[in-house]
Chain A
Amino acid sequence: MLDKQKFIGYGLFALVIVAVSAYFIYPINKSIKLGLDLQGGASVLLQAKGTAKAPVTTESMDQAENIIRQRVDKLGVAEPGIIREGNNYIQVQLPGIKDPNKALDVIGKTALLEFREVLDSEVIGGKKLTVTKDPTSDKDAVLIDKDKKMKYKVGPTLMTGSAIASATAGYDTNNKPQVDLTFSAEGGKLFDEVAAKTYKKQLAIVLDSTVQSAPSIESQSYNGRAVINGSFTLDEVKTLALVLQTGALPVKLEMSDIQTVGPTLGLDSLRAGVLALIVGFILVIIYLLVYYRGLGVIATLALAAFAIILFGFAAFFGTYGKSIGLYWNMTLPGLAGIILSIGVAADSSIVIFERIKEEIGSGKTYRLAMEQGFRHGFLTMVDANFVTFITAFILYFLAVGPVRGFAFTLMLGVAIDLFVTYFFLQSMLGLTLNWKPMQKSAITGMKGVV
């Protein structure tokens, strides 16, 4: 048990993790992404309201999220965040945006589905066509397709999505996916006129000024029914059918929480939070040092390791979170979670030290007291941390909104705390076992309060 090599190994392992975390953190102002409540910006919570015709389903929410994403992309915000909350909420975050009210208009508007004649087209990167800045329905415009592969020059709008009665995904005779369209009585007539005009040409289906598809017109008379085919995957066909069917969003979205935070006020919050974090941290360290003396030094180092690893995770998610689909940035609730988890981390050292103290008090040698004290104390804190983890875990999956950011931080904090205690604290205790000043200070430090 008192294996020096084991302690050195554990200690080194912990230090490597600390070093990796420090590497992720540096430089801190770039690695940790601040939420908009700390850096200013706008957020809007969109609530999907299902109707009999357009119910809220996973599929329709996916589709709505995609459309919202396309709209947000057009705003040119550096780090937009689009997060699904619960079954029927989409949270859009626009950190650092200059004119929040205009942005909210763009996101919240009812999208327009238009059919426009394709006059010309070119692969993205070509020089011939220049994308139109503010395209309107009544003039020629150069638009990009949804996959950002093609540029299309299109004429004025010929008809809108209101002409469509239904659109469904299906298969053609060769079992290739296609979209089946049915027009309304009036829409059918209108479509025949359009078809006559664009016969043997391409017709662009445009949503929110983005070309969704540009099928070519192969007939002049459709009798109210049409199919769109080509080399589509089933998913593409489904998406296209949804777009055509609903004209815009597959479900009705209402803005249920709009928040704009001024940059100065965000900075105020950040300063207050960081100040509280630092002062709280220092006070806890002073308490530990005064009360536990020699052991307090170990506790302080463990707390520092804990903080570095926790911020390392924050930095990791801030830098790489997007590519692994875990959008997490530092918000006020997150900061509160971190401050609370400092308390949890200090508790672990205390539980173990108090146990060691008891063992020494019952007449054990310093060595034995350390060993047994750690074992018993660690067992206690595993149970205690585990129940905290359970609560945070369930919160994270069942709750919505600010509760989740808070729960996630706490979950991370509890897990890191277990890691630091087992590897770092244990190794520090083990390695200083034979160090006389530590023994002496630890014991006198304890006797001071017995």
Chain B
Amino acid sequence: MQRFHFEFIGRKKVWFGISGTIIILGIIAMMLGGLKWGVEFQGGNQFDVKFKKAPTVEAIRTTLATLKLGQSTIQPVGTGNEYLIRSERLSGDTRGQVETALKKAFPVTDISARDIGPGWGQQVTDGAWKALIASMFVLLLYISIRFEFKMAVSAILALFHDGLVVVGIYALVGLLEAKLGLAWIPSEITPNTVAALLTILGFSLYDTIVVFHRIKENAEIIGKRTYSIMVNDSMNQVLMRSINTSLTALIPVFVLLIFGGQTLKDFAFAMFVGLISGAYSSIFIASPILALWKETEPRYIMVREKLARGGKGEAAASSKERTTPTETKGFTPEAPQAGNIITGVTSDEVGMPPPAMTPTPKQKTAAQKAKKKAKKKKRR
């Protein structure tokens, strides 16, 4: 059963164009210094101060100036009673002095502090790279064994896409926020962001695997469709599933982005962008790449040439498949020779029930087949 007839593969240039644009913009933003590295990467001190009644930034700066820390960044967070103060790395004593000075000058509810050497963020990133490269190899191997090599490479390419998109979006948002002087999205890169990004890559694979599972299944009942059309059909079949799984994963992450505290927002933004990119890439990147690549195999070239030679009817029919679902004019005369009958016959041979088949195919009469076809037409 295929409920949708969207064109995915045929418009691959559009999808690749969209992704390419986002990635290139992201890279430009990165070169313009859009990536904001968290305190964990630069080293330094950070104070998260919650006041009973929020003082002005200037007042805090004046207090800090008495300790020669007037240059620190002071940034409001959350509901407004909370400030994030950042300075260069201080000695242990100075750290205590800052806390005491703040508590003396203002009604402070609570202070959290961090004192980070410059190496820690790098350490996290190094570990992450190692993990990333190792998992790429293992995943390449696993997908090659369970599916096939070309699927493995397509899936990994989609992962690279997701990684680039997430980092690019971070750079873009960072650049935009810097230009506008805003801080409404946590676009700073912290070890937590790195963690979120890595897990998202695993999660993005989830979608790709679901789509590939269906492509693998359908490849066995490909009939006289070209590989691209079969892939396109597969994606239409799993579309609702992909939308639903992406939405249910996005909902909690979105809630986290809204309600979560500062640290959780770090995670949430990376996860949010990553999930969307991951869902997008499994359909619009991984599958077209796979289709393009598979089409270079001799047997699929043959199918394609055969279809092209097979007279106007079939050629038109296959291009019919490529048109949008609303375009149903001229459907009736072409239908008998088109993909519908072909799929029907194939499924009889294989014994697998693809579109609109009853579980007892062998007893089906021609009349029943015609009826099914009519039903199918209606659905379209």
Within A86-131, the residues touching B (CB, 8 Å) are 86, 89, 101, 104-105, 108
Q: Is the CB of A260 within 8 A of B113?
A: yes
Given A256-B117, A392-B199, A399-B198, CB of A380 within 8 Å of CB of B264 = no
The segment from B53-61, B247-255, B305-313 found at the interface with A is: B247-255
The segment from A6-14, A180-188, A238-246, A282-290 found at the interface with B is: A282-290
Q: Is the CB of B359 within 8 A of A363?
A: yes
Check if B205 is an interface residue, CB within 8 A of chain A: yes
Question: Which of A287, A332, A395: most chain B CB closer than 10 A?
Answer: A395
> In whole Å, how far is B107's beta carbon from the nearest beta carbon of chain A?
13
In the complex, chain A residues whose CB is within 8 Å of the CB of B213: 379-380, 383-384
**Which of A255, A269, A398, A407 touches B261 (beta carbons < 8 Å)?**
A269
Q: CA A284 – CA B357 in complex, angstroms?
A: 33
Residue interface mask A389-413, B partner, CB < 8 A = 1: 0111011011111110011001000
In the complex, chain B residues whose CB is within 8 Å of the CB of A269: 261-264
Residue interface mask B102-139, A partner, CB < 8 A = 1: 00000001111111110110011001101100110011
Q: Is the CB of B114 within 8 A of A257?
A: yes
Q: Is the CB of B355 within 8 A of A362?
A: yes
**Which of B120, B251, B353 touches A401 (beta carbons < 8 Å)?**
B120
In the complex, chain B residues whose CB is within 8 Å of the CB of A142: none
Q: CA A397 – CA B268 in complex, angstroms?
A: 23
Given A256-B116, A335-B264, A340-B252, CB of A105 within 8 Å of CB of B199 = no
Check if B22 is an interface residue, CB within 8 A of chain A: no
Within A357-406, the residues touching B (CB, 8 Å) are 358, 361-364, 368, 376, 379-380, 383-388, 390-392, 394-395, 397-403, 406
**Which of A257, A384, A407 touches B117 (beta carbons < 8 Å)?**
A257
Q: Is the CB of B114 within 8 A of A258?
A: yes
Question: Which of A269, A336, A337, A401: most chain B CB closer than 10 A?
Answer: A336
Check if B3 is an interface residue, CB within 8 A of chain A: yes
Q: Is the CB of A387 within 8 A of B248?
A: no
- Chain A interface size range: 35 or more
The segment from B189-197, B225-233, B325-333 found at the interface with A is: B189-197
Within A322-347, the residues touching B (CB, 8 Å) are 332-333, 335-337, 339-340, 342-344, 346-347
Check if B181 is an interface residue, CB within 8 A of chain A: no
**Which of A260, A262, A336, A402 touches B124 (beta carbons < 8 Å)?**
A402
Within B209-253, the residues touching A (CB, 8 Å) are 209-210, 213-214, 217, 237-238, 240-241, 244-245, 247-253
Q: Is the CB of A344 within 8 A of B241?
A: no
Check if B85 is an interface residue, CB within 8 A of chain A: no
**Which of B117, B214, B251 touches A280 (beta carbons < 8 Å)?**
B251
> In whole Å, how far is A143's beta carbon from the nearest beta carbon of chain B?
27
Q: Is the CB of B240 within 8 A of A387?
A: no
Q: CA A391 – CA B136 in complex, angstroms?
A: 9
Q: Is the CB of B245 within 8 A of A260?
A: no
**Which of A339, A364, A391, A401 touches B135 (beta carbons < 8 Å)?**
A391
Q: Is the CB of B359 within 8 A of A346?
A: no
- Interface residues contributed by chain B, number (CB under 8 Å): 85
Closest to A394 in B: B135
Q: Is the CB of B253 within 8 A of A340?
A: yes
Q: CA A104 – CA B268 in complex, angstroms?
A: 32
Q: Is the CB of B128 within 8 A of A399?
A: yes
**Which of B138, B195, B210, B259 touches A276 (beta carbons < 8 Å)?**
B259
Q: CA A104 – CA B91 in complex, angstroms?
A: 13
Q: CA A259 – CA B115 in complex, angstroms?
A: 6
In the complex, chain B residues whose CB is within 8 Å of the CB of A101: 92, 95-96
Q: Is the CB of B50 within 8 A of A350?
A: no
Check if A248 is an interface residue, CB within 8 A of chain B: no
Check if B7 is an interface residue, CB within 8 A of chain A: no
Check if A45 is an interface residue, CB within 8 A of chain B: yes
Closest to A403 in B: B195
Q: CA A269 – CA B355 in complex, angstroms?
A: 51
Q: CA A250 – CA B115 in complex, angstroms?
A: 24
Q: Is the CB of A407 within 8 A of B195?
A: yes
> In whole Å, how far is B112's beta carbon from the nearest beta carbon of chain A?
4
Q: Is the CB of B249 within 8 A of A340?
A: yes
Check if A160 is an interface residue, CB within 8 A of chain B: no
Q: Is the CB of A340 within 8 A of B50?
A: no
Given A395-B199, A402-B192, CB of A387 within 8 Å of CB of B206 = yes
Given A279-B255, A386-B142, A398-B130, CB of A264 within 8 Å of CB of B209 = no
Given A104-B92, A387-B139, A391-B198, CB of A255 within 8 Å of CB of B205 = no
Instruction: Provide a sorted-by-A list of 30 A–B residue pairs whose CB atoms are within 8 angstroms.
Output: A47-B117, A104-B92, A105-B92, A258-B115, A259-B113, A259-B115, A260-B114, A272-B264, A276-B264, A279-B259, A333-B267, A335-B264, A339-B255, A344-B206, A351-B210, A351-B241, A380-B210, A384-B209, A388-B203, A388-B205, A391-B199, A395-B198, A398-B127, A401-B123, A401-B124, A401-B195, A402-B191, A403-B194, A406-B192, A406-B199
Known: A387-B205, A398-B131, A402-B195. 6 other contacts (CB 8 A): A101-B95, A256-B116, A336-B271, A361-B1, A394-B138, A401-B120
Interface pairs A-B: 10 shortest CB-CB: A391-B202, A280-B252, A343-B249, A262-B110, A361-B1, A264-B110, A256-B117, A398-B131, A354-B241, A346-B248
